[in-house]
Amino acid sequence: GESVGLHLPTLSVQEGDNSIINCAYSNSASDYFIWYKQESGKGPQFIIDIRSNMDKRQGQRVTVLLNKTVKHLSLQIAATQPGDSAVYFCAERQQGAQKLVFGQGTRLTINP
């Protein structure tokens, strides 16, 4: 089976609240992690990435946290907006490998 998974398949948040999407991975040899956002009918869109030599990386309204001890990755979205509604996938790359392994995805819905 896939080595990357998510704790929750769906997440509903109030507009304006912060969202936290979690991802567990099992391969300690993975050295690169990436979050994608996929809106209905579109291809995955890059959000943010992080290498295994980092614990945290921030972008515009998004933060990725990496906990290598427990093999856990999270995506935090600040002040969630209706446009953030989508399916979010985490993916990992094993060191030296060319391919990404995707998690099952979390659907984020925003309540007005």
Chain length of the chain: 112
CB nearer to other proteins: pick between 50 and 110: 50
User: Among residue numbers 82 through 111, which ones bind other proteins (CB under 8 A)?
Assistant: 89, 93, 98-100, 102-105
Among the listed residues 42, 56, 73, 79, the single contact to other proteins using CB under 8 A: 42
Distance separating alpha carbons of residues 81 and 52, to the nearest angstrom: 29
Read off the amino acid at residue 41.
G
Please, what is the minimum distance in Å from the beta carbon of residue 84 to other proteins?
18
The torsion region of residue 105 among left (phi > 0), alpha (psi -120 to 50) and beta comes to left
54 backbone dihedrals φ, ψ, rounded to 5°: -125, 155
Least distance CB 46 / other proteins (angstroms): 6
| Cβ 87 to other proteins shortest distance, Å | 8
Rounded CA gap, 47 and 2, in Å? 21
Ramachandran assignment for 27, one of left (phi > 0), alpha (psi -120 to 50 degrees), beta (any other):
beta
Specify the stretch interacting with other proteins by CB under 8 A; choose among 22-30, 37-45, 58-66, 71-79. 37-45
The binding track of 45-84 with respect to other proteins, each residue x by CB under 8 A or -, is xx--x-----------------------------------
